[in-house]
Every structure is written in structure tokens, then in C-alpha cells.
A and B are shown apart, each in its own frame.
Chain A
């Protein structure tokens, strides 16, 4: 029997115990009668021999090990009664804890959604991701060419299996051309090219049909088969159970459906839900070059693998590098300096550049943790104050024989009750909070998986945090309370004069800690608000309010280079002729959006290539003529690209002012100069200088920038920019854009449509989130600390009523009393502020680049926060002081 079973059967076992002891008494009595005792005497003797029945029973219960549970139930019952009797105290404590736990849970859920949630595959922690790199680049990890992947897969000795996958996109339709009702044609579906062993490595089986056979992934373009993602199947095919065997069209090419994946399966990435999977041999159909299978420099695949039992990551990494070294020897042109790095999938998520997301998340967790500490301090403070008022009750319980341990346990049980109630409230707050955070994200042109809803993992942590806070804020006051001076209490001295000073000091220390933390959190908030303000004021270098942008990729439909150029050229011409359109152009990636390209090293005419790992790079965009006009980004010197700057014409380039300054001193001297990228790219002549702008983030120091002409550097994936004549015309212009694209090729999908200032949303995301969370945390910390200070002052005043009364009777003025009380509270506040400023100074030093463009010791923030806190604290002290000063001496003297 388990203790809980025993508990459920408590009545039964009690009954049995009674019966067993009665049986004993009965037999003993019978024997004694047989020995000649009178029945009455025999019964008495038998009872004496056994001992008091209640004591024996109690000892038996102890022996059965259910004792602690009975005590716990008793404590809980008592605790509930006590809490219900003081609804004000309970409400404040639960609210404080609920807010503290709530913001922490919301933050943890968010970070969990980004960082921690495992990929929904079999044993996700054992899914290993190899990265391909070169020894000279320290932190740059890239993709595998198919040929290299195959050699690694076949020659390694440590993987039980290694698969490869590559992200692709396509438009879907039910026939070769777009039909009415094929709404998905307007968007792009994301899918993956996968090797035949992919689903085995992931350990996920289709819920309908099958995955790919080896045969289907052995000959290029021979087997147009597809496995569908669950959401696509539900949405487009209404969960058709007979889908297997039917034909769908991807980019206008017929594919036979062979299977459907389960709903939980996202594909290879945790942030993007994939709609379909095709064998890697179909790569050319999805725009990969014809030589994708053989060209070792054409790296487009990522890999996942599972290790053989007992093999460590380090061993496998050494093994793959052995294979890598032999590949480097065999194919030195493509594979020289090969280095392979292995991590688990989760560890590989935030390699190099995106690390800042991780740090931002951890910072938010840390700050929300501080808020929880303030909340705990608050509740501890309330508990301490209450312990004083309960001293009498506790004293009596001690006096009638309760052990100190028992009292402590009772008090801790009460705080655990509080913290669990707080946890419950926190859960609700967290749930709403995560929806709010989710809603604050701008539209993302991808089927992103952003799910911050608290899951089981978060629930587990939150429960642990609730219980821990319960013990932390409950234990110290409980230990204090249980040390009550018995005699003093029972004599009626409220708390024992000797104890008062110490308690007040502890409470004072808690207030100081609260103020300190509040200052730190508020300063973080202040810095983030300043940083958002700076972002909103920063001129990005272009005007976004009249822009419509949408992404197009003729490569999806296997257009070749001349066709791509023809398509975009025609599209631009047609759009410019439409009403409502001021200008139209194309760029490969919008500035301040997600992706970017860096080019270099930059070599001026007449100079030689810098040694490896040296030299300067610059971010680069590929643009068509009219780009600068449509972005309203003026050229300060020279001319725009024209249609004649094509592959036959001399190479030309436009740079920004910073580039001209850095490489040639001034814009004037840069004009007409020529430079190239290392490793033999042809020289390009600078024909224009563009005004400086912001490219990666609104906070960056002024960066150099290069614009390359599209017709000399054509590529398939481009963003169409249409500048409308007015903001009012935006919706109409979107339709115009879609219509003109369909006019040229009805199969052509568009995606990622952004109107007007939506083009800036991504740039504002980080500062908005930081400022929003910072403010929430800051206000919470401030409110909690103020409540803490207020309650301490009220308590101090109530303790000093008598003293105040005497002073007043002796002629002290109201003003003196106010000064006395207020200065007592403000002393604590000032200590807290000094400590807090020092803490914030240290913390902001550590934050560095996370502060998004605001000086670490931004004096406005530091000063402003201090003044704010002093003002609020003054009010929190003044109200109790007023009350004290209004004390009627007569009443005060009769106080006790």
C-alpha cells in the first residue's frame, strides 16, 4: 500500500486497529479470568498491561508512516482558515506573487519557444547536426555540397545514419497553370528536398501512405513524388483520406502524393513549418543548378545524423574530419582547409550571428527574475509583519507543547499555500502575456512557428519556482516567529520589546533590497525606452510610407538567367505605366529586413588581394534602375543605373557616402574610381554616390554600402518595390502589382507583401519588445517596492504610536513628527537608490550592445529614474507620517 492509498483507506485502517486491540484485550481478559481474577479485575489488568489505548494507537499510526500526511492536512486546513480570515493580506500577497511568477513564466515561455523547445522528432536531444567550415574562418559554418555529403555519409564510421535536406519553395496548384480558387498560388509554400533516409533519421513516420524508397531518390528527375505536411493536407485537401496516389502540381509540374506527415512534425527547422517534402533527386525542378549533384563548390544541403550507440560527439567529429581531410586532398579546389563541426540540433540553433537573440532572451529572463525577487521580498515583509501580530497565537502554541519545528512547518505551509495561489494567478497572467507578446510580432512573410503558449516544460518550472518562492519567503519569517519570547508574549507585550528592533531591521533590509532592485530594473526599462525613442527618430535613409513591397522568385519556375532578366524588365516597365504608381524597381533584399549579403574583400584598382581573413567587406544590395527614386533615397553625386548597364557594358557600381569617405576620402574623389572584390572579380567603376542610410539596424554606426546593378548581377529571388503616389493608393497598388505579375506569368507566386510602414516593422521589433517588457517589469518592480515601503512605514508608525503621543504631548509640532517618520523611511530609500545605481552601472556595463544604441551611463535615465523613485517613495512615507502626526496624544497614551 502506498501512503496515499493508506490515506484514502484511513478510516478502514483506523477501524482495524481498534478491532485488533480489542481482540487482544478480550483474549487477555479471558486468560486472566481463567487464572482466577474476577471479570472486572481481569479487564482492568488487561488494560493496564496494554497501556492507554489512545497512546498505543498513536504509536501505531506513527509506525505506519502516515503521520506527516495527517499533520500536513491539518496544517493545510488551518492555513486556509487563517488566509481566509485576512482577505486583504492574502489578496496583496497572492497578487504580488502572481505578478512576479506571471512575468517570469511569460518570459520563460517566450525563450522556450525560441530556444528550448525540442524539435518534434524521435529523441530530439540525440539529433546531431554537422556544419561545414574552413579552418581559416573561425566561426563561419556553412552548408554541404551534395557530393561531399554523400562521401561523408558513406565513409564515416561513427554515424548509424546521416541524411541531408535543403529548404525550397514552390507554388502549388491543381493543374499546370493557375486556376481560379488556387489561392495558395498567391503565396509560396516552403518545403524540403530530402534524401531517402531522411524520415528514418528524424524517426517520424507518415500518418498516411509511406515515405520515400531508395529507388525514388537514386535517379535525377525520375520520380516526382511528394510527402505532404499535415497543415497543407488539412487546409488545401480538407484532410482527404484518399489523397495518396493523387496528383498535385508544384511550380506547374505534376507530383504524385505518396504520404502525409503527422501534425506535430514541422520539418527540419524549429521555426518554420514545412508544407511538403520531395526526394533530393528532384532538386533541379526546384531551381537548383543542373550540376547540383556533382559540383563540390555548390553547397546547398544541411545534414542531420544519428550516432552509433556509445559514440560521443567528439569522436564523431574527429571521424568526420578524417573523411573531410581526405576530401580536401582529393578535391583541393573546392575542399581545401575543410573543417567539420558537430553539435546537437538545439545547440546549433543560434550559431554566431543570431546569438544576440539568445542573450536578449536570457537578459529578459534575468530582469523578470529580479521582479520576482522584489515580489518575494514584499510577501516576506508582509509575513514578518503578520508574524508579529500572530506572536500571541504562536506563543500559546509553543507554551502548550508544540515543537518549534512544528510551528515553522505550519507557517511554511501557509506560505506555500500563498505561493501556489500566486502560481495559479501567475499562470493566467503568463498565458495572456504570451498572447500579447505573440501579437506584438510584425507579420512575417514565412510560415513561422512562433508558439509561446506555456507548455508542460514551462509548467514544471513554474511549479518549482512557486514552491521555491514559498519556501524562501516563508522560511525566514517563520524562523523569526518561532523564536518568540514566550514569557513576554504571554505577559502581553505585543512583540517583546527586545525583538522589535531586529524585526524592523530585517524589514528595513528587505525594503532596501526592493528599492535597489527596482532601480536596476527601472534603469533597464528607461534605457530601452530611450532606445526605442532613438529608433523612432532615426532616419533610415528612405521613405517607407508610400511603399508596397512583395517578393517574387522566377527561379521557382526554373526560369533561366535571360528569362529572369526579361521578366523583371517587363514587369518594371508595365508597372510604371499603371495609375497610382509613382515608380517601381527591384532589390534582392530590403534594407532593415531579415536577410543581408556581405561582399568583399574590397580591393582598389592597382592593389593586390589581401591575405586570407584580412580585408574589408561591405554589405551589398543588387538593385534595378529607379531603385533610388522609388525609395526616395537621393544620389548625392553621379547617376543612377540604367537598362544599358547590362552584362555587355562596363561594370559599374554605386556606393554610399560612408564608403566613399572610408576608401577615397570624399565623394568627389570617389567618383569614377574603380575597385573589385578579391579573387578575380572584374573591376567596377563608381558611377554614383548614394546618401547614407541604415542597413542592418537603426542603431548601427554608419556602415559602408554597395549597390550593384541587377542586369550585371541578375538573380532570381527579388523584392518588388512599388512607390505609390499616395498612402491612400497603397491597397490599390498591391492589387495592381499582383495583377501585372499574373499577366506576365499566371503561375508566378508572390509572397511577403508589405504595405507602407510595415516595411519598418522588423527594424522596430527589438526595441519595441525591449521597451515594452522593460516598462512592464519596471512598473511592476516600482509598484511592489512602493507597497513594501508603505507597509513597513505603516507598521513602524503603529509601533511608535505611544512614543509619538508622548512627543506630541511634550510639545513636538506636526512638522517635527512628519520629518521624523519620513526621514526614517527615506533613509532606507536613499540607501537602496545608491546601491541600485551602483548595480545598474555594473549591469549596463555588462549589457553592452544589447542596449541598442543608448549610452551605458545615460545620465537622463539614471537621474530620471532616481527622481521618480524618490517621489514615489516620498508619498509612500508621507501618508503613514501624516497619520502618525494626526495622532491624538490622549488616545496614543492610552494605546496599550
Chain B
């Protein structure tokens, strides 16, 4: 891949995790996998910071965790979005949307075109 891997802007990791978890109960390793696949490798989560993030979100009541049998047959910790988490996801996603639109608008300004 020609593109260099991007660093995640501050605070985005939580948003991405919430989004992935919103698709259905999922365990930590699968979250890491999914993020990497969907972003086609552009976004690579340092795995070491994934778990603290998950625990933080759980602590804030945005996620709940449950132990359940995984695809390998062993028990894994599955994360689910709470209602509070869902609300948080919506506001954060909307915020992110506005921000990126604004940023791309600014970037598209032609030189000297700014009035």
C-alpha cells in the first residue's frame, strides 16, 4: 500500500470503537480486526491502547461486557453498546461529520480565493 499509515486524531479511537460495537456484540480482538479491515489498513490501532479504551468506555457506562462462548468455543468478553453509548455515538459521529466537512471545505479553497 502506497499510503502511509495515519495516526489517529485524539479522541477518535473511542468513536471508532463505539461504531464497531454498535454493529453487534463483539470481543476485543474482533474489534481490532474489524477496524483494520474496514479502513483497509489505513487505521491501525495500537493494540495496547485498545483494551484501556474499552475498559474506560465500560467504566463510563457507554459499553457493557458479557462473557459468552466465542467462535473458537472458548469464553470471550463480548462488548455491547448501552443506550447511553448509542447516544454518545450519535452525537460524536455528528460532530465528526461537521468537523470533516468543514476541514475539507477549507482545504478545497483555491489559493487567494479566500475573501
Contact = CB atoms under 8 A, between A and B. Distances in A.
Given A20-B28, A23-B74, A24-B28, A62 B52 contact: yes
A51 B29 contact: no
> Do most interface residues of chain B lie in helix, strand or loop, or is the interface mixed?
helix
Given A23-B27, A23-B29, A28-B29, A49 B52 contact: no
Nearest to B74: A23
Interface in B31-55: 32-33, 46-49, 51-53, 55
B38 to A, nearest CB: 16
A27 interface: yes
Contacts of B58: 64
Contacts of A28: 29, 47
A65 B56 CA distance: 8
A55 interface: yes
Contacts of A52: 48
A55 to B, nearest CB: 7
A16 B79 CA distance: 14
Interface string B63-99: 0000100101011110000000000000000000000
Contacts of B32: 24
A63 B60 CA distance: 10
Interface in A7-53: 16, 19-21, 23-24, 26-28, 30-31, 49-52
A23 B50 CA distance: 14
Interface in A44-101: 49-52, 55-56, 59-60, 62-65
Nearest to B27: A23
Given A20-B28, A24-B28, A59 B48 contact: yes
Which of B29, B33, B76 is the most central at the interface, judged by chain A CB atoms within 10 Å of its CB?
B29
Contacts of A31: 33
B51 A21 contact: yes
B10 interface: no
Contacts of A16: 67, 77
A51 B56 CA distance: 18
Nearest to B57: A63
Given A16-B77, A51-B47, A27 B72 contact: yes
B48 A60 contact: no
Contact of A63 (B27, B33, B48, B56): B56
A50 B59 contact: no
B59 to A, nearest CB: 5
Given A20-B77, A23-B29, A27-B29, A56 B70 contact: no
B46 A51 contact: yes
Interface residues of B, number: 23
Contacts of B47: 24, 28, 49-51
B70 to A, nearest CB: 7
A56 B51 contact: yes
Which of A20, A28, A49, A59 is the most central at the interface, judged by chain B CB atoms within 10 Å of its CB?
A20
Contacts of B59: 63-65
Contacts of B46: 51
A56 B77 contact: no
Contacts of A27: 29, 72
Nearest to A57: B51
Given A23-B77, A24-B29, A56-B48, A63 B55 contact: yes
B51 A59 contact: yes
A59 B48 CA distance: 9
A56 B46 CA distance: 11
Nearest to A48: B47
Contacts of A60: 51-52, 55
Contacts of B29: 23-24, 27-28
A62 to B, nearest CB: 7
B111 to A, nearest CB: 43
A59 B27 CA distance: 19
Contacts of A62: 52
B52 A59 contact: yes
Contacts of B53: 63
A23 B75 CA distance: 8
Which of B33, B51, B58, B77 is the most central at the interface, judged by chain A CB atoms within 10 Å of its CB?
B51
A301 to B, nearest CB: 59
Given A63-B56, A65-B59, A23 B51 contact: no
B3 to A, nearest CB: 21
A28 B50 CA distance: 14
A63 B51 CA distance: 9
8 contacts: A20-B51, A23-B74, A24-B29, A31-B33, A51-B46, A60-B55, A63-B52, A64-B59
Given A20-B51, A24-B29, A59-B48, 7 more contacts: A19-B77, A23-B28, A28-B29, A50-B47, A51-B48, A59-B52, A60-B52
Top-3 shortest CB links A-B: A51-B48, A63-B56, A59-B52
